[in-house]
Amino acid sequence: MRTWDLTKLYKGFDDEAFLADQKALIKQIEEATKQEEQFKNYDNKEEKLVSFLKGEIELNTLARKLISYASLVASCESTNMQAIKSMNMLRTQLTKLTRVSTIFNKWLLKYPDVDEDIKNNEFLKEHDFIIKETIEHASHLLDEKTESLLARLRQDGSASWGRLQSLLTSTLAVDYEGKEITLSEVRNLASDPSKDVRRKAYEAELAAYKKIEKSISFSLNSIKGEVNTISSERGYESALAQALTNSRMSSKTLEAMQSACLDYMDVFREYLKRKAKLLGHKNGLPFYDLFAPIGESNTRFTIEEANEYILKNFRTFSEELYLMAKKAFTENWIDYTPRKGKVGGAFCANLNPIKESRILTNFTGAFGDMITLSHELGHAFHGENIFNESPLNSNYTMPVAETASTFCETIVNKAALKDAKNDEERIFLLESSIQDYTQVVVDIMSRFIFEKSVFEGRQKTVFDENELKEMMIKAQKETYGDGLDSEFLHPYMWVCKSHYYSGGLSYYNFPYTFGLLFAKGLYAKYLEDKENFVSLYYNLLASTGKMMVEDVAKLAGIDVTKKEFWVSSLELLKEDIDLFLELTK
């Protein structure tokens, strides 16, 4: 099977179970909205707190199941009106909870002797972190009428603008060599062995964006403007400050990590210039050759071969990881190949209501596609470890979300390098990894700089598509430097990256850098003590939904607020780059 099986959620939108659950959710929402009166005083406060949190678990579990089904269907069928209408209806229904949720959160903010009640109640003790976090976030809430209005307006604001970006990019027809192909297909040609194919694909991709650039520039402006307005009203210093709070991460950690990364930009530029030289370029690497294969490997993977290779190497880490991946392959958790209407890229959805995950990829058989598959299976393994926690403790934030995925990617990458038949294949595999490092350290920094510029600029003005292109080029020049040919950059990277188009998740870029470097640090600890590391690692993953990022890291003896840790992880990447430079002299 090349497509996923969603029947454990529902068999369709006309499935009796889907319709019954939809009706049950609406009833639960109606019941929940009747709770306002009880939060006018603190009589029987402990009982009220427990009851509300248990109700949240029940309601959220059902809502997640329904919305997950609709969004997964839409991700492969972006014009499926049943999926779109269902998502809109469900999200609109959930906005009705905003008023009572706001009243509850403000009640909790002034809750007398909260520590005492938590200490004496096992259920509350289990949810200590989420209760304290809710109290902290409550200090940024507006009044309940305004919060309710904002929740409803978002459905026709940032949520709709985000869906427009997804629709336009997933249905964009790209004219390549006289035929129409999808955006995912043309972007996949960036790693084609032929320089001619790569350049033509790049030119076709850029030309296609002309059709949608104005519409998507409106989307980006509208979303960032909305976020700026709301974060300011909530009393946050900036959209970045709110993103860090939502990430459970301190600015000190971000600054330490980014400072270390900036110190290593020249290391990545040396790699890019060497790659440019190997490919016959004199003025740095053109963007269309960023993903060009170097070295030689004739290996292409069928889906079955990729699955088998991943299973073999996951088993070297733990039986649990192997069994989870095997289940994913045999029980059709994965939608593998690109097609029209299917979104680009890859993702993994942890489905807590059924204690399983579903993975979307755009697999074409390249080595990088196998690495992407192992990456997404890492997310699924994170889910396996979090499913045993209370649903209220299962919402981990974006920085730690990339940890298990990058760790699994590292397992497979290291194995492939070890299995290389000769130096040419070793160079190919090594350079494939360095490509990824460059994306996650250098390109992600350019995306961060771009997004920060848009957020700051939107406080005073709006940007047309040409200004956005100029801002993206400027950000790329700042990070890639002379590593790239300034005549061949990618002015449209803001169009094709869905990460920019969420009103509730800003700066979805630095978490990738955190994930890569944190996972590298963890992998180094695994090599030091394989026997004891595995159980520590499971505990760390299970704790990600109920701890600050810094406290999660402390479980492994790591201080992420110190630049020294990030430097030590970057040194591991530098070792690979140095080896590449040595092998390609």
pLDDT the model gives residue 298: 67
Question: Could you tell me the pTM of the whole model?
Answer: 0.85
Question: Does one domain contain both 291 and 385?
Answer: no
CATH at 150: 1.20.140.70
Helix (H, G, I), strand (E, B) or coil at 477: helix
Which burial class, exposed, middle or buried, applies to 416 when counting CB atoms under 10 A from its CB (0-12, 13-18, 19+)?
A: buried
Residue 173 binned pLDDT confidence (cut-offs 50, 70, 90): very high
- Reported as a single tens digit per residue, the pLDDT across 511-523 is 999 999 999 999 9
- Looking at the domain assignment, is residue 169 inside a domain? no
Mind listing the pLDDT tens digit for each residue in 122-150? Answer: 999 999 999 999 999 999 999 989 988 99
pLDDT score of 575: 95
* Segment 187-210 mean pLDDT: 95
* Long-range contacts formed by 415-420: CB under 8 A, 24+ apart: 415/309, 415/312, 415/313, 415/316, 416/309, 416/367
By the 8 A CB rule, do 498 and 235 touch?
no
Domain boundary among 98, 125, 156: 156
* Cα–Cα nearest to 290, from 372, 201, 378, 216: 201
First to last CA, the chain: 44
Domain count, the chain: 3
184 in any annotated domain? yes
pLDDT at 1 over 80: no
- Arithmetic mean of pLDDT, 212-237: 97
CA 25 to the chain's CA centroid: 28
Residues 326 and 466 grouped into a single domain: no
Domain hosting residue 308, numbered range: 303-423+511-579
Does residue 92 lie within any of the structural domains? yes
Alpha helices in 316-366 (DSSP H): 319-330
Paired sense of beta strands 179-181 and 347-351, if any = unpaired
Same structural domain for residues 23 and 134? Answer: yes
Please indicate, yes or no, if residue 428 is contained in any of the structural domains.
Answer: no
Domain annotation covers residue 267: yes
- What secondary structure letter does DSSP report for 484? B
Q: Determine which of 211-215, 401-405, 555-559 has the lowest per-residue pLDDT on average.
A: 401-405
pLDDT at 90: 94
**How many percent of the chain have pLDDT more than 90?**
89
The answer as to whether 163 is a domain residue is: no
Within this chain, do residues 406 and 533 fall inside the same structural domain, yes or no?
A: yes
Q: Kindly report the average pLDDT of the chain as a whole number.
A: 95
**Are 68 and 349 spatial neighbours (Cβ–Cβ below 8 Å)?**
yes
276-298 pLDDT, tens digit per residue, is 999 999 999 999 999 999 987 66
Residue 429 falls within a domain, yes or no? no
Q: 106 in a domain, yes or no?
A: yes
Q: Are residues 403 and 488 in the same domain?
A: no
Averaged over 183-201, what is the pLDDT? 93
92 and 145 belong to one structural domain? yes
Does pLDDT of 449 surpass 90? Answer: yes
Q: How far is CA 90 from each of CA 56, 82, 155, rounded to the nearest angstrom?
A: 16, 12, 11
Last residue of a domain, one of 103, 127, 156: 156
Residue 118 pLDDT > 90, yes or no? yes
**More confident position, 168 or 295:** 168
Better-predicted residue by pLDDT, 456 or 416: 456
User: Given this model, what pLDDT does residue 402 score?
Assistant: 87
Residues 339 and 456 in one domain: no
For the chain, give the number of residues: 585
Mean pLDDT value across residues 554-563: 96
Q: DSSP character for 335?
A: E
